Structure formats: structure tokens, C-alpha cells
Amino acid sequence: VRESEGGPVQEPVELPDVRLTHPDRVYWEDVGVTKQGLAEYYVQVWPRMESFVVNRPLALVRCPDGAAGQCFFQKHAWKGQSKDIILAKDPEDDEPVIAIKDLKGLIGLVQGGTLEIHPWGANLKNLEKPDWINMDLDPGPGVEWPEVIEAAIEVRERLAACGLKSFVKTSGGKGLHVVAPLKPKAPWEDVKAFAKGIADSMAEDDSSRYVATVSKAKRKGKILIDYLRNGRGATAVAPYSTRSRDGAPVSMPLAWDELSPDIGPAYFTVENAVQRLAVDDPWKDFWKAAVALPKPKKK
């Protein structure tokens, strides 16, 4: 039982029946979050996280010595990995991809020192047809947070004009992600072209604020509308995933009207995320809102 500062004493969190070695190992030194604390966090957010991480190829950031230690970006199996992590065939990969199908799998990832979970935007049953678009907003140096919020709202409006409903989350790093659910009908190529179309049109319409190409030189004071999360094999951090950065931040789903200068990209952390479970799930209609990718607009 942990005591949060000034707050109520939390109920003990029951972990699924999965082996967790060295539960007291500290993963985020600055805030004292341990491996056990990470597992408990995931047990609590699991009902809201599940549909975004199960049965998808995953890339992981594994940091066996914690966020301050050496981390590995990893898409394939490793020696001694939990039996609750499953392997799946990607026809374009010689090695199987990794996935989870339940909470045990997620705790299995924690057992392996996973501090970040980055799913594909496609399900294992439909690997060639993405079921979401992720527009990743990356502020360059000198960009103020309210401008990032404006960019997200701009993306939302452009998606809405094409008939797509979108949802916003903090990245847990520096930016925001605007995510639109799709019925998995169009192939990667089309979804990526569509996302590029949104990014290009924003850069064309306001080149003083937005860029759509990943050239650092151009980014000073500008926001990169990074559409490249939408290619086959590309990944983006999952809703509710922790980040291997100071403070144990998480990528937190928000309601659109929650966007505010007070809630920065790493505002939500392992420590304050759980209290949000008392408020309505801002992404509860995510999958209900899925539509097929619209046909590209003629210029």
C-alpha cells in the first residue's frame, strides 16, 4: 500500500499471476517509481488501454536498468521473454513480431523492463489495413505550447472536414498526437498518402507555423506535422504507455476541451494518471467512431 502525498491511502492493487522479479527495482529514479509500481499502474489503466495494445505488432523501449540507463528499441523476441508475450508472423519480416493479447502479456512486458509500448496502427488479423491514423505533432525549438494545441485543433478540423472523428492525447514527450479511428479497409499506402495530404495542406496554408518534412533546419519555431507514423511497420506510443523519460510521464488520452496551457505534453505521469480513472473516459467512443478512409479530395 502506497501513501500518496496528502491524499487517501490507496487500496492494494492485485497483479495477475505473472512472475515479477526484482519488484523493488527503481525504474524512474527522480520520482521513485519501481517495477512493482509500474505493474500496478498498468493493472489500473488496463480497461482503458486494452483495445489499443492487444493483438497488434509492438515495438518496445526496454530499459532493464530504468529510464536513466541504456534503453533498446526492439521489435522482436528476446531470450527469456515472458511466455505471456506472443509471437506473430509479419509476411514482410523474417523474424516474428511480438504482441500481447491480455493483461498478463502487458505485465510480461513490464517483467522484461519495457518502459514504452509502441503499437502498429493495425491489428494482427488485418496487418495490411490500418485501423487508425496518428498525426504526430512535433514542436520545434521555440514553439510555445498553445501553438501546439492550435495545431491539434487544426488537424482535428481538417480530419472532420473529411468525415473523420479524431481524439487527442499527450505524447508524454514534447507534443500531442491526434488519432482518428478507421474501419480497416484501405491499405497502408492510401492511409499514409491521406495523412501526408493533411500535413502538406497545413504546411502549404501556413508555412510560418507548419512543416511536413522532417528536416531539422526548417523546424525552428515550427511544428512538424509528422505523418510518417502511418507507414507500414511504423509505430507510435500507445495511449497510457509510460515513457522512458524523467518524471515517468505517460501518453494520456484527453477530451478536446481539456487542452489547455496548464496541461503540457508530459503533465500526466504514473503518479497522477490513476486519479483520472474517476472521470469519464475521454476516448470511450473511439472505436464506435471508426469510418472507412475517405477518398482523397480533388484539388
Residues near ligand ATP (CB under 6 A): 59, 73, 118, 136, 138, 171, 173-175, 226, 235-237, 265
**Rg (Cα) of the chain, in Å, rounded?**
19
The Cα 64–Cα 105 span in angstroms is 17
C-alpha cell at 90: 509479419
Q: Would you state the cell numbers that stand for residue 16, as one nine-digit string?
A: 495477475
Query: How many Å apart are CA 231 and CA 190, to the nearest integer?
Result: 9
Q: Which stretch binds Mn ion (CB under 5 A): 67-75, 189-197, 221-229, 238-246?
A: 221-229
The strand pair at 58-62 and 72-74 is best described as: antiparallel
CB 59 to ligand ATP: min, Å: 6
Contact pattern for Mn ion over residues 233 through 272, marking x by CB under 5 A: ----------------------------------------
Using CB under 5 A, which residues numbered 120 to 159 contact Mn ion?
A: 136, 138
**CB nearer Mn ion, residue 131 or residue 226:** 226
Q: Which residue is nearest to ligand ATP (CB)?
A: 173
Contact 141, 261 (CB under 8 A): no
Q: Compute the half-sphere exposure of residue 148: CA atoms within 13 Å on the CB side of its CA.
A: 31
**Which residue's Cβ has the minimum distance to Mn ion?**
226
Of positions 40, 84, 226, 271, contacts Mn ion by CB under 5 A: 226
- Tell me how far apart the alpha carbons of residues 3 and 255 are, in angstroms, rounded to a whole number: 29
Residue 236 binding partner per list Mn ion, ligand ATP, none, with a CB distance cut-off of 5 to 8 Å that depends on partner kind: ligand ATP
Q: 210-211 and 33-34: which strand pairing?
A: unpaired
The residue (of 73 and 287) whose beta carbon lies closer to ligand ATP is 73
Q: What residues make contact with Mn ion under the rule CB under 5 A?
A: 136, 138, 175, 226
